Amino acid sequence: MKKLIRFAIAGGIGFLVDAGVLSALLDLTPLGPFGARLIAIALAMAATWAFNRNFTFDRSGRSLADEGFRYGSVGVTAALVNYGLYSALLLSLPGLQPLAAMVVASVAAMVFSFFGYSRFVFRA
C-alpha cells in the first residue's frame, strides 16, 4: 500500500509537470496541442522516474543504464497509450479542452505504468 501511495504522489508530480508544460507551451508557442503534448509527456516521464527511483520503489540492483532502459520501455509504452487516447479524444470531440483530454488519458496510462514499473523495472 505504501508503494501505491508513493506511486500516486509520483503520478501527481508527473501530472503537474505534464499539465504545466502543456499549458505553457500552448500559451507561449505555436506548437499546438499535439506537439506540445509530446514535450510535456517526455518531461513528466523524467520527473516521475527520478521520484519513483528514489522514493517509491526499492532500487532494482540493476545498472542505472539497464534500469533506465526498462523504465523507458514501460514509460514509452504508457506514453503511447496516454498520447493515443489523448489524441483520439481531441479528434473525436473537437470541443474538448486539451487539459481535460490529458486528465482522462493520464489516468488510463497510470494503471498500466504502475504494473509495468513494479513488475518489470524495480523488481529485483
Query: At residue 1, does pLDDT exceed 80?
Result: no
Across 68-99, b (16+ Cβ under 10 Å) vs e yields eebbeebbeebbebbbebbeebbeeeeeeebe
Q: What is the pLDDT of residue 121?
A: 81
- Once rounded to an integer, what is the mean pLDDT over residues 87-108? 92
Predicted model pTM: 0.74
Percentage with pLDDT > 70 across the chain: 97
